[in-house]
């Protein structure tokens, strides 16, 4: 089991490329060693010159050429974190009041072992601390930065893409209210639900705050990945500077994992997504609240932890959803 303090708590960005720095070292050291060699050659050809100076110059030239070669070999070995960030995150580091900031840290909640509120299980709750409901999501760090920083990161449109809405006033309303409290207003809300819902009843109970913004698809999310797939809808909607929050919880183990793997392996989608909320089903016999029995899931908590660490390592703010 991975401890709290061993998992990513921040998404970090270092502007500029390590490769560029290596190239500068190669050029600088190479040029210096060239002049050192020329100087040594001049001393050798001049009988009045001391041979010790010539030897020193040649020694310096050899050392500098070795250093230059090491710098050249380093080119391409280091993948800068900069390349793993979203367009908005990269843009922030060179714009607005934060343009002089070399390192941006965006807070995010630690990955708790059982992927719930850290006080959701009595055995893990400190003495004197009340146990919270197993579905309590108050521990999630949604924005992770000041509102000014968020608006600088994402000056464009704000999208909520909810895969598995489970009704008109469940997660859609929850996200809308939560983001509104943080000062963020969605311009468009897109929802998918495989369970057939009565249109009249559905739209009657859609909250007024999202009624005019909602695009509802009462169809299952499949694995065709054509132009109608949510990931392709996201790709077509997105413009530089937009913010996209995606929730994946369609209660179809197997399908969900394939979609999540697709996200992990798609650099463009990784750059587009601002936040990713994902319920990855796992088996845990000692955690009776989970809706997938241990013998029905091929994943355990260690598998889930490893996958979320991969997502975060690629610069994606990935949160476990319940």
Alpha carbons 221 and 73: distance in angstroms, whole number: 46
Task: Say if CB 283 and CB 300 are below 8 A apart.
Answer: yes
* DSSP 3-state of 50: coil
Residue 59 CA neighbour count, 13 Å, CB half: 6
Could you list the beta-strand ranges (E) of 44-140. 104-107
pLDDT reported for residue 38:
53
Q: With 0.85 as the threshold, say if the pTM is over it.
A: no
Q: CA torsion 279→281→285→291, rounded to 10°?
A: 70
Cα-Cα end-to-end distance for the chain? 20
> pLDDT tens digits, residue range 120-142?
877 778 888 888 887 888 888 88
* DSSP 3-state of 107: strand
Could you list the beta-strand ranges (E) of 118-248. 158-163, 188-192, 214-217, 243-248
Alpha carbons 208 and 282: distance in angstroms, whole number: 36
Alpha carbons 57 and 101: distance in angstroms, whole number: 41
pLDDT reported for residue 55:
52
**Interstrand relation of 243-248 and 273-278 (parallel, antiparallel or unpaired):** parallel
pLDDT reported for residue 285:
57
DSSP element (H, E) containing 28 = helix 18-45
Mean pLDDT by 10 residues, the chain (322 residues): 35 37 43 48 48 51 46 34 41 42 72 79 81 84 89 94 91 92 96 94 92 95 92 96 95 85 96 93 58 55 86 92 83
Alpha carbons 280 and 115: distance in angstroms, whole number: 10
pLDDT reported for residue 322:
79
């Amino acid at each position: 089991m991975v401890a709290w303090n061993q998992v990513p708590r921040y998404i970090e960005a270092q502007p500029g490329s390590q490769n560029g720095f290596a190239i500068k070292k190669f050029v600088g050291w190479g040029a210096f060693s060239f002049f050192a060699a020329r100087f040594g050659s001049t001393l050798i050809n001049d009988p009045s010159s001391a041979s010790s100076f010539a030897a020193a110059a040649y020694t310096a030239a050899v050392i500098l050429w070795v250093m230059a070669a090491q710098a050249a070999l380093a080119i391409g070995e280091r993948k800068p974190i900069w390349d793993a960030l979203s367009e908005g995150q990269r843009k922030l580091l060179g714009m607005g009041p934060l343009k002089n900031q070399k390192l941006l840290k965006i807070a995010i909640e630690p990955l708790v072992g059982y992927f719930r509120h850290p006080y959701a299980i009595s055995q893990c709750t400190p003495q004197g601390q009340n146990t919270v409901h197993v579905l309590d999501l108050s521990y999630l760090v949604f924005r992770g930065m000041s509102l000014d920083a968020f608006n600088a990161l994402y000056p464009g449109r704000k999208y909520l893409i909810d895969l598995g809405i489970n009704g008109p006033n469940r997660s859609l309303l929850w996200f809308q209210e939560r983001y509104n409290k943080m000062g963020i207003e969605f311009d468009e809300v897109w929802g998918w639900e495989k369970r057939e819902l009565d249109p009249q009843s559905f739209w009657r109970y859609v909250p007024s705050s999202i009624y005019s913004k909602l695009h509802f698809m009462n169809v299952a999310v499949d694995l065709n990945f054509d132009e109608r797939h949510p990931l392709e809808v996201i790709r077509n909607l997105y413009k530089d500077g937009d913010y996209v929050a995606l929730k994946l919880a369609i209660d179809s183990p197997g399908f969900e994992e394939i979609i999540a793997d697709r996200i992990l392996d798609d650099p463009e989608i990784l750059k587009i997504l601002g936040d990713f909320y994902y319920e990855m089903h796992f088996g845990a016999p000692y955690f009776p609240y989970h809706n997938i029995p241990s013998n029905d899931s091929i994943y355990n908590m260690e598998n889930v932890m490893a996958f979320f660490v991969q997502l975060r390592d690629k610069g994606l703010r990935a949160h476990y959803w319940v």
